[in-house]
Every structure is written in C-alpha cells, then in structure tokens.
Structure 1
Amino acid sequence: MTLTFPAPSKDKAELETGPAFTPRFDEKGLVTAVVTDARDGELLMVAHMNAEALALTIETGIAHYYSRSRNSLWKKGESSGNTQAVQEIRTDCDQDAIWLKVTVAGHDATCHTGRRSCFYRTVGVENGKARVTITDEHRHFDPAQIYAEKKG
C-alpha cells in the first residue's frame, strides 16, 4: 500500500484545524523535515521529503528522505546502520513542515560525520568575521571506515 496525500485545502481554517493530513509540498515537490531525538529532544538534523519518502516513513515507521544533491530517495541509516525509528510525526500549522521524533539505531549517530547531531558547530564572530566553532568533537563512528565498507 502506498499512501497518497490529497491537495491542501484552500480554506485556512480547514488546513489548520481539520483532520485531513494534506502536506503542502513546495514547487520542487518537497517538504522540510525537522528531526529530533524522541528521548531527549536534541535537534538531530533537517532534511527534505517528497511524497514517496513521507509515505514510506508513515507506512514503515523508519525515516526516509529525499536527497536534493543525489536527486533520489534515501532511507536514513541504510549505509551506516543508524536508522531512525519514528516515534511521532507532527506537522506545523499550515502543513508545509514535518517534525519527526525518532530513536536512532546503530551508533546513535545521525550525521554523516559520525556525530550524534548534524548541528555540532556554533556560529559566532571573531575579528569581525563570522566563524564556526566545533562544539561536539565526539564521533560515534569513523565515517571513512563505515562508508568505505559499504562501497567495497
């Protein structure tokens, strides 16, 4: 079974308070997905979903996304083993963003760099220039080893 999503209502009240889930995909057919850890609320990543990825996520309970750089469907953790089991899905008021609360399998890492979160750097100003500072040096896995094994 593959879920399909009806077109969003033009009635704002229906869109915001009605029972129909009618995601508002953008002109490229994508919706933004914000992903947090279901246990502690940490922000893990932001990605995009097309209708197929969203349907697979709802149907299987495992997070799927759409890779804009590869132009393809992507099952999170398929290469690394760090799959995301979806505990809850929410949508925002106008249904153009999705919030996934997940538990991460494998190494408990979400970022391809081996870190738990893709948000491992802070932004600040140094000598009048915007700079980033790494705040999470801990890597849960070695990306070169994990991704090389999958290629070989």
Structure 2
Amino acid sequence: MSEQPASAPVIVPAPATSPLPSAVAAALKRDGAGLVAAVVQQFDTHEVLMLGWMDDEALHRTMTSGRVTFYSRSRQEYWRKGDTSGHVQWVKSVALDCDGDALLIRVDQVGAACHTGTRTCFEGRDLEVQTGEAV
C-alpha cells in the first residue's frame, strides 16, 4: 500500500448511515470534514454563480427537494439557499465530476447568488493574469 503525498487531501469514506444511494455515497471523495465542493451554475446561461460545500445530508436534501441545501462550515449547520434572502436556487440537475471530489449543481437562480447581493460570487473580482491562446 503506497502512501499519499503530503499535499494530497484527506479522503473521508461515506458515513455508515449515509442517506444517499449507495453508489453515489461510494463515489464521493469527501475532504477531512466530510464535505465535497459544489459548483453552482445557472442552467441556461452557464454562468458560474457560486461555490458551496455539501456533506451527504446536504446533497441528499438537494437531490430530493428541488432546492439547493449547503453545509455551512462557519456555522456548522445546514442552510437552504434563499430561505432568508428569497434568492432561491431551483435544482435543474446534479452531476459528480470524474474524480468524485466535486459536484456541479445546475440551477435556476432567483435574484442574487452571492451573499454580497451580486448576481455571482465572482462578479467584479477578476484577477490580473497573463492570458494565452490555443495555437
């Protein structure tokens, strides 16, 4: 058995009582806190709206309710997007990436996705970079 390099993330196995279908629970690669990154994208324009975190329960709620639920790392609790702001995310699809360590949640976003009130959490936050072109 080979050891993981020091920079490799800790992968946590599925909880024994995961509410997810067993194949989904087995495919997820959770971080040390049991969470998976969830990229949220507007389903029709393909805008990347935000990044949130989900554990098995948050993903289960998202897959079965039609609304996106995240797990707040700072508050240590579940929160359903839009319950207090009215800026609801209606689920259109959920996909797991090829490595099992990230989710793509396609939504129909009502209002701002960012807690700052902007449409996306990336709006107006571009960094200066050297760009490239395909040859």
The interval holding the TM-score normalised by the smaller chain is: 0.7 to 0.9
Question: Which residue of structure 2 aligns with residue 66 of structure 1?
Answer: 71
Residue deviations 1:69-118 (CA, integer Å, cap 9, x gap): 1111110111100110110111111211100010012xx21011111000
Asked if the contact 1:48–1:67 (Cα under 8 Å) also holds between the matched residues in 2, the reply is yes
Partners of 1:101 and 1:113 lie apart in 2 by 21
Q: How does 1:1-152 map to 2 (within 5 A)?
A: 3-6=19-22, 20-21=23-24, 22-105=27-110, 108-120=111-123, 121-124=125-128
Partners of 2:47 and 2:105 lie apart in 1 by 12
Partners of 1:38 and 1:111 lie apart in 2 by 17
Structure with greater helix share of residues: 1
Asked if the contact 1:5–1:23 (Cα under 8 Å) also holds between the matched residues in 2, the reply is no
Larger Rg: 1
Question: Cα distance, 1:5 vs. partner?
Answer: 4.6
Partners of 1:95 and 1:36 lie apart in 2 by 18
Asked if the contact 1:30–1:49 (Cα under 8 Å) also holds between the matched residues in 2, the reply is yes
Partners of 1:95 and 1:5 lie apart in 2 by 14
| Unaligned runs of at least 5 residues, structure 2 | 1-17, 130-135
Equivalent position amino acid for 1:95 in 2: G
Partners of 1:116 and 1:52 lie apart in 2 by 27
Asked if the contact 1:76–1:84 (Cα under 8 Å) also holds between the matched residues in 2, the reply is yes
Task: Give structure 1 regions of 4+ aligned residues with deviation exceeding 4 angstroms.
Answer: none
Please report the TM-score for the alignment, with normalisation by the length of structure 2: 0.75
In the alignment of these two chains, the number of paired residues is 109
Asked if the contact 1:48–1:66 (Cα under 8 Å) also holds between the matched residues in 2, the reply is yes
